[in-house]
Structure 1
Amino acid sequence: MKKPLTVLTSLLLLPACQTTRTVTLVGMTDYHSHAVPFYSEGAPGQGGVARALAYLRDAKARPDTLVVSGGDTLNKGVPTWSDEYGCVEWPWFNGVLDVMALGNHDLDYGPESFERCRASAAYPVLCANLEGADGAPYLRVEGKPYLVKEVGGVRVGFFSVAGLDMQRLVKAEHLPAGTRWTDATEAAQAVVRALRDEEHVDAVVLLGHQLREDDEALARAVPGIDIIMGSHSHQKVELGVLPGTSTWYLSPYQYLAYLSEVRLRFRGKRLEGVEGGLVKLDGTRREDEETAAEVARLQRDLVAKRPERFEVLGRLDKPLGDEGLTEGPAEVGTWATEVWRRAAGAHAFFALSASFRGGLPAGEVTVEDFLGAIPYRNFLVTAELTGAQLADWVALSESKRGTDSYSQYSGVHYEVEDGRPVRLRVLKDPTNPAAGDEPVTPEATYRVATLDFQAFVATGYKDALSRAANVRRTELNAHTLLMDSLRQGAVNSASGQLHSK
């Protein structure tokens, strides 16, 4: 009698062990207070918080779905919305967001403001390597630097770390009192170990907040991370496995122009498959009506209160596109670097792709449009490089292709073979571009210019410039130069170049 009972029990248990379940993760990141739909990738009316909330609420209503954020919900200075309304949107996501990563810009207004924002949110904010005065992680859920959610019989663990770039960008006075950064890799190792060995989760998800190259390095250094919801780099990356790892990665660009949607397929407790991709939030997506009305009301008040930010700088007959900023010359980058090159009197000018956060639309361009596309304040830096040093600088930029550290440029021309620049040419006469260019001579000296962030902060570039001669931070304001170009109407928007008036 015992043997048939054993067989029957095994047969009853077999289907349960083989049950397939799907958990869906829908993610946003790097919103940066872009509440109002904006110009992006050559099209107006993209994104907008009302459109995002409509999609996220619909997603949240579906079974076994979790909604997450990679952080950077604020952005001091740009857009004006952020300075005027702060984190007014945080409670709008209550009941929608399950968890949020701390981003560097979430601390833009200091620790007191951050704590007020956090108090308005019903969802936790995480960062495993921000340590409090007591030596424990400052941001915790029930005493732990991670969140475990059980849906559909599956346990999913979420955590966040601040990468080196984020740590460098946050001012010390903006950190909560008594806190300090710890090593991101060590923190991730401890969290993943706890999630796997103590919490017995079925999947581990990293929400952010660090550069893509740091995400890739972390995935190689810390086995056991199933998915990284990319953030901070503002890159648009479809779902795929990171090279040399078993970790899946995707990144939904910026400002809610896209969301991430990933479906995790489990057989029993085993993660068996991952699929999904990016969801474009364009005009075909509906808006949440109540949110849209509130955004419209607040925006009308903002325009009335800060009219100088909505002043028209100029008019473009065609847009200056931002397509391909990290992969090659983009119209907005070509235009800006040429304006800056001429002002600096340089043979060549270089600016990180991260200096640009969008293109400029056709028609009237306001101050707010301009700052949305080129938000960061910089001054021009000039230096003298030998031809060999200039070639090394261009090679460094090419090695960064596909990332925010790739340079937009003006004054040089080259081709790429096997990932390296070849046949490098530079302007003969910086004051007369019409004179054409010539091959770079290794022993010759060239006047090269860049923005002060790239010159003195950006990894690799600051070291390269430290070996240059006559490095000088000028008083030439990058924003002022471009705004004056727009006011003068000296933009050939079809090519991104300048024309004489």
Structure 2
Amino acid sequence: MTTESILTIMHTNDIHSHLENWPRIRRSLLDQQRNLKTGVNDVLTFDIGDALDRVHPLTEATLGTANVALLNQANYDAVTIGNNEGLSLHAEQLNHLYDEANFPVLVANFLDAKTHQRADWNQGVHYQQTADGTRIGVIGLTAQFDDSYPLLGWDVTDIGTTLDKILPTVRANSDVVILLSHLGINVDRRIAQRFSDIDIILGAHTHHLLEHGEMVNGTLLAAAGKWGCWIGKVSVRLQEHKIIAKTARVIQTDELPQLPADELEIAGYEQAGRQQLRADKVADLPQALLRSDHSLMQDALKMVQEKTGAPAAMLSSGLFLRDLPAGIVNRDDLLELLPHQMHVMTTSLSGTELKRLMQEVHKNSGFLRGFSLVGVGFRGKIFGELVFAGLAYDERLDQVYYADEPIVPTGEYVIASLDYYKFLPFLPTIEIAGINEIMMNNNLREDYALYLAKHYRLAVNVKE
């Protein structure tokens, strides 16, 4: 008699520390595991990266280890990482993020730049057998970000080259091959066209939602949107360990039952994070730093100038989500002020290129002032107004002044700003013509904390 079984694959992606959804996600995953693991039928559970985001106080306070502890509750079989795990943590922090994980972490294209080997926490590929003996091979891959990862000591290798190297072995040792892809929908489609040995691609990164999956060249693509608003569910019918059918769907999280204890649990995550952050005092301001009188902006501009040594700096007013009142400043204050994931950057330009940049600023300023922005590390609402220190543009004379001197076309000029301006389409001169150096040793919030601690020192007994 022919043996048939059903393999159910539950998957989450791009939760980004939206822990308001976590109690229902966890319950749903555990219910599926409990109800569908019967006889020869089995359930596998995967997360496809960006589970954490330092915008949440608990993630910021614990550098993501609290998020890993939550994943441990839901019996994940394996996870991969996204850019929030890979880029928002220093290498040493990432190397210890998964110390207490009860699941393997798979990022086959993520290597230590010095050793050209995977770190101890990174298994790359994972094999396991289901209840009926079907062999499952799981590969994890993450997006490259060639401008940023090398600065943190990571070498993220080419996707095609990586799959060419490992896929034949995985295929030879597996009845079903699953790719955990934090690469984005367009890359997933290209992989499916090129690598027919992959049976299922569980996607992430571009926050795409495939409510009923998508079949490309015989490979099933599945993805569950963003923020834990959906949970993915793939059903695979197997006969003698071979796939005879595969389908995908999603479960809408806010349609799942909510228990009275959920709100208390969710509030507890935020409270625990804020309590830890508030205990970490940074500075003592003699007077408030405000958005309204530009004192906050001027202070931040001085910070990026001081960090880089550049005579000129540029920042946008939408970065600052609150004021800093006089008195003690703690890390929770700074998280509320600057929740973004971005870094200080210097850009070197010729005089001609700098003039073009200032013309781009002038042309786009009216639009950008109220432009609603999402992504590229920005966690605010609007872009705001670009403000300068040591740099000015006289529209009437069409003249740019750098450190109070008129620029010359052949001169070389350095301005300090943030890496996220490089990734936006409104100031193309920065990316196209600039020689850009991103300073990844700290994020913007951490740099500002160091600046405040230096210039507005705490009394010795305040920390005690």
- Normalising by the residue count of structure 2, what TM-score does the alignment of the two structures yield? 0.58
Aligned to 2:198, the other structure's residue is in SS state coil
Q: Which residue of 2 aligns with 1:237?
A: 210
- One-letter code aligned to 1:241: E
Aligned to 2:249, the other structure's residue is in SS state strand
Deviation track 1:143-164 (CA, whole Å, cap 9, x = no partner) reads: x631112113222211111223
Alignment of 1:202-217 (within 5 A): 202-217=175-190
Shift of 1:209: 1.6
Judged with a 3 Å threshold, the aligned counterparts in structure 2 of structure 1 residues 453 and 96 are, in CA distance, closer, same or farther, namely same
Deviation track 1:56-107 (CA, whole Å, cap 9, x = no partner) reads: 111222310011011122223x123321233213123326111010222113
Aligned to 1:112, the other structure's residue is in SS state helix
Q: Which residue of 1 aligns with 2:18?
A: 34
Structure 1: stretches of 5+ with no match in the other structure:
1-14, 38-46, 308-342, 345-354, 356-365, 391-402, 411-450, 469-478, 480-501
- Give, in whole Å, the separation in 2 of the partners of 1:168 and 1:140: 23
Deviation track 1:161-210 (CA, whole Å, cap 9, x = no partner) reads: 12234x5444622x4xxx5222221112222211112x1x1211111221
Aligned to 1:185, the other structure's residue is in SS state helix
- One-letter code aligned to 1:270: K
**Which one of 57, 62, 70 corresponds to residue 85 of structure 1?**
62
Judged with a 3 Å threshold, the aligned counterparts in structure 2 of structure 1 residues 301 and 195 are, in CA distance, closer, same or farther, namely closer
Q: Which residue of 1 aligns with 2:129?
A: 150
- Give, in whole Å, the separation in 1 of the partners of 2:427 and 2:181: 25
Alignment of 1:5-84 (within 5 A): 15-16=1-2, 19-35=3-19, 37=20, 47=21, 49-61=22-34, 62-63=36-37, 64-76=42-54, 78-84=55-61
- One-letter code aligned to 1:229: L
1:117 aligns with 2:71: no
Judged with a 3 Å threshold, the aligned counterparts in structure 2 of structure 1 residues 117 and 453 are, in CA distance, closer, same or farther, namely closer
Alignment of 1:184-195 (within 5 A): 184-195=159-170
- Give, in whole Å, the separation in 1 of the partners of 2:427 and 2:168: 36
Deviation track 1:286-305 (CA, whole Å, cap 9, x = no partner) reads: 3595x765543342344567
Aligned to 1:120, the other structure's residue is in SS state coil
1:264 aligns with 2:244: no
- Give, in whole Å, the separation in 1 of the partners of 2:199 and 2:427: 33
1:277 aligns with 2:245: no
Contact 2:343 2:418 (8 Å CA) reproduced = no
Contact 1:79 1:371 (8 Å CA) reproduced = no
Contact 2:213 2:223 (8 Å CA) reproduced = no
Contact 1:70 1:102 (8 Å CA) reproduced = yes
Shift of 1:455: 6.0
Judged with a 3 Å threshold, the aligned counterparts in structure 2 of structure 1 residues 375 and 257 are, in CA distance, closer, same or farther, namely farther
Contact 1:20 1:266 (8 Å CA) reproduced = yes
Deviation track 1:385-434 (CA, whole Å, cap 9, x = no partner) reads: 8xxxx9xxxxxxxxxxxx99xxxx99xxxxxxxxxxxxxxxxxxxxxxxx
1:160 aligns with 2:143: no
Contact 2:4 2:240 (8 Å CA) reproduced = yes
1:137 aligns with 2:118: yes
- Give, in whole Å, the separation in 2 of the partners of 1:305 and 1:146: 36
Shift of 1:237: 2.4
- One-letter code aligned to 1:146: V
Alignment of 1:326-345 (within 5 A): none
- Give, in whole Å, the separation in 2 of the partners of 1:383 and 1:220: 44
The alignment of Structure 1 onto Structure 2 pairs a total of residues equal to 329
- Give, in whole Å, the separation in 2 of the partners of 1:128 and 1:137: 8
Judged with a 3 Å threshold, the aligned counterparts in structure 2 of structure 1 residues 109 and 239 are, in CA distance, closer, same or farther, namely same
Aligned to 1:128, the other structure's residue is in SS state coil
1:457 aligns with 2:423: yes
Deviation track 1:317-355 (CA, whole Å, cap 9, x = no partner) reads: xxxxxxxxxxxxxxxxxxxxxxxxxx99xxxxxxxxxx9
Contact 2:144 2:156 (8 Å CA) reproduced = no
Judged with a 3 Å threshold, the aligned counterparts in structure 2 of structure 1 residues 138 and 109 are, in CA distance, closer, same or farther, namely closer
Contact 1:163 1:214 (8 Å CA) reproduced = no
Shift of 1:262: 0.5
Aligned to 2:109, the other structure's residue is in SS state strand
Shift of 1:283: 5.5
- One-letter code aligned to 2:155: R
- Give, in whole Å, the separation in 1 of the partners of 2:422 and 2:430: 10
Shift of 1:130: 1.8
- Give, in whole Å, the separation in 2 of the partners of 1:254 and 1:82: 17
Contact 1:31 1:254 (8 Å CA) reproduced = yes
Shift of 1:252: 1.1
Shift of 1:306: 6.4
Alignment of 1:405-444 (within 5 A): none
Aligned to 2:142, the other structure's residue is in SS state coil
- Give, in whole Å, the separation in 2 of the partners of 1:236 and 1:155: 28
Judged with a 3 Å threshold, the aligned counterparts in structure 2 of structure 1 residues 263 and 369 are, in CA distance, closer, same or farther, namely farther
Q: Which residue of 2 aligns with 1:101?
A: 80
- Give, in whole Å, the separation in 2 of the partners of 1:460 and 1:205: 39
Aligned to 2:98, the other structure's residue is in SS state helix
Alignment of 1:396-407 (within 5 A): none
Contact 1:70 1:231 (8 Å CA) reproduced = yes
- Give, in whole Å, the separation in 2 of the partners of 1:216 and 1:298: 37
- One-letter code aligned to 1:123: F
- Give, in whole Å, the separation in 2 of the partners of 1:252 and 1:145: 23
Q: Which residue of 2 aligns with 1:326?
A: none
Aligned to 1:73, the other structure's residue is in SS state coil
Contact 1:23 1:152 (8 Å CA) reproduced = no
- Give, in whole Å, the separation in 1 of the partners of 2:143 and 2:60: 25
- Give, in whole Å, the separation in 2 of the partners of 1:80 and 1:235: 26
Give the alignment's Cα RMSD to 1 decimal.
4.7
Deviation track 1:243-263 (CA, whole Å, cap 9, x = no partner) reads: 5x2221122111211111100
Bigger mean CA offset, 92-101 vs 22-31 = 92-101
Q: Which residue of 1 aligns with 2:310?
A: none
- Give, in whole Å, the separation in 2 of the partners of 1:461 and 1:223: 40
Shift of 1:383: 6.7
Contact 1:53 1:288 (8 Å CA) reproduced = no
- Normalising by the residue count of structure 1, what TM-score does the alignment of the two structures yield? 0.54
Shift of 1:462: 4.7
Aligned to 1:296, the other structure's residue is in SS state helix
- Give, in whole Å, the separation in 1 of the partners of 2:4 and 2:247: 15
